[in-house]
């Protein structure tokens, strides 16, 4: 296990999760009309889930002897629901990629590998669900999850 790299990668993930807290919450608040009825709970749940992930990995960073970040990555603002969903796909894809990098840094530590494999599974399902909301599927990744090389 490369502890310093793992702390760095987990902090990257925490910054993304904190962005997710704010971005998904903002989307839930600004929606109007029928879109609000359909999507408000989806984005509220995603915001809550992101906070849970940020807390989980902040605890792990402290346990590793590091200092968890409290700075989110940049929020992408929009009032267009299709753009919200596209941003969500990009966000979840990036999360899968960062957790895969963290998994690579954790190699040899069974406990951290298990936590990160579960996390990659969860983020991949979120990514795929948002893609399905857009009427799309990720033909490149199949059951293995979002491709790290395509993260952006
Ligand atoms: Fe997450």
Distance 123 CA to ligand 1 centre (A): 6
In the predicted structure, residue 2 carries a pLDDT above the cut 90: yes
Q: What is the pTM of this model?
A: 0.90
Total count of domains within the chain: 1
Q: Which domain holds residue 134?
A: 3-150
3-state secondary structure at position 145: coil
At residue 143 the predicted structure's pLDDT band, cuts being 50, 70 and 90, is very low
Distance 108 CA to ligand 1 centre (A): 23
* CATH number, position 66: 1.20.1260.10
At residue 148 the predicted structure's pLDDT band, cuts being 50, 70 and 90, is very low
List pLDDT tens digits, range 50-66: 999 999 999 999 999 99
Whether 75 contacts 18, CB under 8 Å: no
């Amino acid at each position: 296990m490369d502890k310093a790299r793992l702390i760095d990668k987990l902090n990257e993930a925490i910054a993304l999760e904190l962005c997710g807290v704010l971005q998904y919450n903002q989307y839930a608040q600004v929606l109007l009309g029928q879109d609000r009825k359909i999507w408000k709970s989806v984005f509220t749940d995603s915001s809550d889930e992101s906070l849970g992930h940020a807390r989980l990995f902040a605890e792990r960073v402290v346990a590793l002897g590091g200092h968890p970040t409290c700075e989110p990555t940049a929020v992408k603002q929009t009032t267009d629901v299709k753009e919200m969903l596209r941003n969500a796909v990009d966000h979840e894809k990036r999360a899968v990629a960062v957790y895969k990098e963290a998994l690579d840094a954790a190699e040899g530590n069974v406990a951290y590998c298990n936590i990160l494999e579960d996390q990659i599974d969860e983020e991949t399902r979120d990514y795929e669900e948002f893609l399905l909301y857009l009427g799309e599927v990720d033909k490149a990744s199949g059951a293995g999850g979002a491709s790290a090389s395509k993260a952006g």
